[in-house]
Amino acid sequence: MTVVRDEEKWLLEQNAAEYLVEALNRQLGTDFRVVLHADRPDIVIEDVDTGQQIGVEVAHLFYDAEEARIFLGRSASDHHPAEDLATYLERLNKLLSQKADKARGYSHKDELALLIRVVSAVFGMSDFNRCEQLIQVPQSRYKFIWLLFYNWDSGKWDLIKALKQEIPGQA
């Protein structure tokens, strides 16, 4: 079966949102679930206990087009050339800026969040923590900005780094 790009994008967004919900619920003791998959924002999650809804824009951070092809299974290569953390951080900062601009046009009434899934097989949350001062979080409508990392110990996408966060459900 061939997956068309729109279906593939939908699956990537849906999976990232489900990983986010699972990690938030475990780490914060909340009971979020995915309730809607649409556009602008991509996903809406809701806390079952409080009814709080958060619109989530989902993005994926790739080092370059070849890393994206490898991640999506479209590359003839099974490995990526050496990566540089500074370049990855530059790409993150550019993505944060682009997504902040995009959020200005949203009409979503509830809180907004930005979820960026970092797909690097080389750099993890500890690298981004170490270089946090180089991450430029622009002013935006996002109340929450989270980076989602793969946890090699648990074998899951369950590591969340908050770049901007007020705890969901609390003012």
- Cβ-count burial 83-94 (b if 16+ within 10 Å, e if not): eebeebbeebee
pLDDT at site 40: 83
Residue-wise pLDDT for 93-108, tens only, equals 999 999 999 888 887 7
Q: Across-strand partners of 142?
A: 112
Mean pLDDT of the residues in the chain: 88
Q: Which two tokens stand for residue 152?
A: 């090699």
How far apart, in Å, do the first and last CA atoms of the chain sit? Answer: 46
Residue-wise pLDDT for 109-137, tens only, equals 889 999 999 998 889 999 999 999 999 99
Q: Judge contact between 24 and 41, C-beta under 8 A.
A: no
CA distances from 77 to 50, 74, 146, 152 (A): 47, 9, 30, 22
Task: Tell me: pLDDT of 61 over 60.
Answer: yes
171 vs 90: which has the higher pLDDT: 90
**81 preceded by cis ω (within 30°)?**
no
Would the pTM count as exceeding 0.75?
yes
Mean pLDDT over residues 141-159, rounded?
93
9 vs 33: which has the higher pLDDT: 33
Distance CA 63, CA 89 (A): 9
Task: Tell me: pLDDT of 4 over 70.
Answer: no
Distance CA 158, CA 171 (A): 25
Q: Judge contact between 96 and 127, C-beta under 8 A.
A: no
pLDDT band at 3 (very low <50, low <70, confident <90, very high): low
